[in-house]
Amino acid sequence: MTYKPAYIRPHLVPFLFNEFDGVEKISDSKRIKIVKLSNCSSLGRWLTRALVMNNNIKTPSYHIFLSIDVRPGRIQKLGNFYIKNKNETQLLRLSEEDNYLMNQLLEDMFRITLHYFITAYRLDREEATPTIIDAIREYMEMYELYEFGFDEEGIRRLYYRTLKSGKLKRLQARAANRVHNYL
């Protein structure tokens, strides 16, 4: 089995950058955040299980390196995982299948957050009743989704599908493999 450095889908990087706590720095026109991830967290336990099953490596923690190029016109967003093992830091290497599954888990978090954001946005605005499109635009701006080809109509359809099927259904049913725009 081939192991490659674990990566995060680019459209998820701004989402994780905003939602994870970590040490943030600006360097060479890039915003960088280093997030410590405990192996006792749900994501950390999943990674530990994947590592032990494949490489027989145990580690006390992981680090997620998130980088966003802030130069105008650039959309480079990178996300990688690192492990610290015996005072040595190295890229986390996963099988292609494990990396796919990890990104699906992060995608699930992203979509569930999207649904609750839109619902809360509409309930929180007392002065005027915002539309779903208003909420979607705010979410897309917050997480820089326009840069990755996401569109308001696609997210609106996703929101209504989620309303009909259940907010957490994605966690219990087979996730659709829609690579185009990651939706």
Label each residue of 107-149 as H, E or C. Answer: HHHHHHHHHHHHHHHHHHCCCCCCCHHHHHHHHHHHCCHHHHC
* Amino acid (1-letter code) at residue 180: H
Which residue would you say has higher pLDDT here, 25 or 175?
25
Mean pLDDT of 102-116: 91
pLDDT at 37 over 70: yes
Task: Return d(Cα 55, Cα 50) in angstroms, integer.
Answer: 8
Ranges assigned E (strand) in the chain: 3-5, 23-27, 30-38, 61-69, 77-85, 88-91, 93-95
Q: What share of residues in the chain are helix, strand, coil (percent, to 5)?
A: 50, 25, 30
Nearest to 35 by CA among 16, 49, 50: 16
Q: What is the DSSP letter of 176?
A: P
Give this prediction's pTM.
Answer: 0.83
Task: Return d(Cα 76, Cα 96) in angstroms, integer.
Answer: 22
Dig out the tokens for 130 from the structure.
Answer: 């915002």
Task: Please answer whether residues 44 and 37 qualify as being in contact, where contact means their C-beta atoms are separated by less than 8 angstroms.
Answer: yes
Strand 88-91 and strand 77-85: pairing? antiparallel
Task: Please answer whether residues 57 and 85 qualify as being in contact, where contact means their C-beta atoms are separated by less than 8 angstroms.
Answer: yes
Q: How confident is the model at residue 126 (pLDDT cuts 50, 70, 90)?
A: low
Q: How confident is the model at residue 48 (pLDDT cuts 50, 70, 90)?
A: confident
pLDDT in tens, 59-96: 667 888 999 887 777 767 888 888 876 677 888 888 88
pLDDT at 180 over 60: no
